Amino acid sequence: MAGKAVMRTRLVLTAAFISAVVAGVSSQSRTADGVAALARGDYQQAIEILRPIAEDWRSQDTVAQFFLAGLYASGRGVAADPVRACALYARAGSQSERPFGRQAMPLFAAFMSRGQEFNAWGRPTNPPEHLSILPFTRLLAGPMDFTPGIFDITFGKTNVNERVQSTLAAQLAEYVLIYSPVQMAADLPENYEQRLDALQFIKDVPTDWESSRTLRSEIGDYVVVARQQRGLPDWYLGAATDENARTLVIPLDFLAQGRRYEAQIYRDGPGASYLDNPTALVIEKRRVTAGDRIEAALAPGGGLAVRFKAL
């Protein structure tokens, strides 16, 4: 992907710059040797030099921590390990007055939340359970620019760890599960043109809410969230599961008592799976009240998105 190439170019150019800076300050520094190795593309040598420096618990070498984090993030010279990358960015960022400490903080935030961009250049990409974790970690701090709504799930990739790991229904559910008052449709126009039926949910779903409720969840397994549109009686529901298929019975008692709604349901189609059939989608409508229930059959890596239009 272009994003991965850009990240590599930035890493190498930045490494070349800092190599000169560090070498100028301390020509004897092993950190300078490690960054110089990174700048010339010798990632294995860079790892061998930087790792013992950066991972020493007593170390305050933010330069070594910053560039070793980049190597773990990109999988160059070492197996990709986003958790280690996140931890090293956090350590470097905690010393913002030191070299590259300030630059490390936004990267720590990005790795802590891993938005949809990681489904383009992350290796591995976000696993299916990611959506069931975010509401109880990053999203507790407030809105998030996740960039939801990818319709071209595989973008020509056969390795599931190199593309989006969800179904189309789960992509629609993201608009409810992940709060952002400035939302977007992150895919290409031509991909939406091919699925105008699914695009309708994105056109309908609001970006701000009157009330939000987490109806059911097992963190890391599945999550179900319902939200009422601000200033209107309509409700929206989003659900997502991990790599395991499951059926959830969802009471609709969050709806207004004594009122009828048209449930516009976008669910995983027959045989849907994030692994080999991610775009199978069924769209249906039914009349419901607060006394009804919805039985949500979620495919592996699947989801459910519902608009409850007040009648």
Q: Which of 39, 37, 235, 221 is nearest to 135 (CA)?
A: 221
Amino acid at 260: R
Q: How far apart are CA 172 and CA 92, in angstroms?
A: 36
Q: How far apart are CA 237 and CA 258, in angstroms?
A: 19
Instruction: Please say if 117 is a catalytic residue.
Output: yes
Q: How far apart are CA 132 and CA 148, in angstroms?
A: 15
DSSP 8-state class, residue 256: P
Catalytic one of 117, 129, 162, 174: 117
Token pair recorded at residue 58: 């007593």
Q: How far apart are CA 282 and CA 155, in angstroms?
A: 22
Angle at 91 between CA 89 and CA 97, to 5 degrees: 95
Burial, 222: exposed, middle or buried (Cβ in 10 Å; 0-12, 13-18, 19+)? buried
Q: How far apart are CA 253 and CA 255, in angstroms?
A: 5
Cβ(37)–Cβ(45) below 8 Å: yes
Strand arrangement, sheet containing 209-218: 209-218, 222-229, 235-241, 303-310, 261-268, 281-288
DSSP run (H or E) holding 113: helix 101-113
DSSP 8-state class, residue 115: -
The residues carrying an active-site annotation are 117
